[in-house]
Amino acid sequence: MNDSKHEEDNSFERRQIIRAISNFEGFPALNPRSLRIIAMLREKLVNIPKLGRILERNQVFRKHFIMLSGVPDMGENSTKEAIRALGLLNVKHLMFSLLIMPFYSTNDREEWQHVYSTSVLITNLMKHYRIPETSSLPLTALLHDIGIPLLRKFNPGKYEQIKKYARDTEQLLEEVEDANLYISHSAAGGICVKKWGMHDDVFVPICYHHDHVEHISEENTLKEVLLMQYADWIDQTARGVVCRRPDDTRLRRAGMEMDDQYWLDYQTDMLEFLTFGEEEVDDASGAINYNKLIQYLVVPVGFVEKERRERERQRKQGGASAVGKVFSFDIAKAIKDKLQQKKMARRERSLSSFESNENGIDDLKPTENVPEETVTQVFSRPKPQKPSFSFDENNRPVRFRSDGKVLETATRVFKRPLFGDKDKD
């Protein structure tokens, strides 16, 4: 009897807090333009020219976007080429990140880093398990903890105590929230996205990313909820935060055989590779300079694999000890110097064989130390001498050198007789 009375009291308190949060003056608002962009990115066939025009409006993001694609910046067409080079899944993730990051203020930096790394992970999970690019999971991952900034604004002092208590005692944050606020951040996040007009494929995974999923019957929705839970668990575990792992049996039934150690190592490396700089903060509003934060956005698909290859390349190049590096450098320098000395010596020997005059290279003369015959053979062609001809006993022409020696018959030289045979008979 007392237990049922307690549950009724909790239910009453829960309804009150939900009503208070829904009518909260500091409730975050998603502007209509951002909603239209999100709706366009959720379509099965995305309008690439229109998306390119949208990217052109934010020059800071456009510059970083083109840099990530590797396409040279040569005007408006470069944006469209960058979209094609990156692929739709990467473009959607980058655009969603740009639109959602303003909802995480300076006090929410820890939450932004968590949701961003989780969204990068879930994008790679989508690629690995062949989930269609039309899925809203990258957007869901960026919004799955939006309830934390909302609860922090709603009751700042109390919520900070709740987070500190959950961290110090290693309890699940959602359970401590329920016990003290009668609402969890997943439920608060669901209220937020529902008020923005998000569809159920975003609303349901956010509401249930920490809860049991027994009553979710729709197969695709269940798969996305389980994948959201798994990505959240992997990232929080890699960060050393207590989190509930989704039921392994349900993951298998949804067609996802998870290798926990592989994905934990994957996310640990990702947290090492991702860079979150010290953003400039406006003292008046306390807002982050998001133009500076944009430069830390990455291409999600294959990000860890690319950084691992780069790390391995640097490891191989820098594997030698400091002494070995200096020794190798000295050897290379000595070889280079020796080759340079040989080159200079050859040049000096060549120049010493000539006497240059005012008329330049055409009038170079041999020195006394070099035999004239040798120089003539090397540097000048002998003047052609007109051979003398005579006839042999068969009346065939024979060519003579100037010294009177017979060279060869004209027949062999010219491949045919110069003159016809006379008196052959």
Q: pTM to 2 decimals?
A: 0.71
Q: What is the pLDDT of residue 356?
A: 46
Handedness of CA 93, 99, 102, 103 (dihedral sign): negative
User: What residues contact residue 297 under an 8 Å CB cut-off, 6+ apart?
Assistant: 64, 68, 94, 97, 98
pLDDT one-digit tens code per residue, 166-198: 999 999 999 999 999 889 999 999 999 999 999
Q: What is the pLDDT of residue 280?
A: 59
CB atoms within 10 A of CB 292: 13
Mean pLDDT of 212-238: 88
Q: How many residues does the chain have?
A: 425
d(C-alpha 379, C-alpha 374), whole Å: 9
pLDDT one-digit tens code per residue, 135-145: 999 999 999 99
Contact assessment for residue 360 and residue 352, using Cβ atoms and an 8 Å cutoff: no
Indicate whether 315 pLDDT > 90. Answer: no
H helices of 280-403, where?
290-293, 303-317, 322-352, 372-379
d(C-alpha 186, C-alpha 208), whole Å: 7
Indicate whether 425 pLDDT > 50. Answer: no
**How much is the mean pLDDT over the chain?**
79
The encoded tokens of residue 226 equal 């389980």
Q: 365 pairs with which residues across the strands?
A: 355
Flag the least confident range among 23-32, 116-125, 194-203, 262-271. 23-32
Question: Which residue type does 390 have?
Answer: S
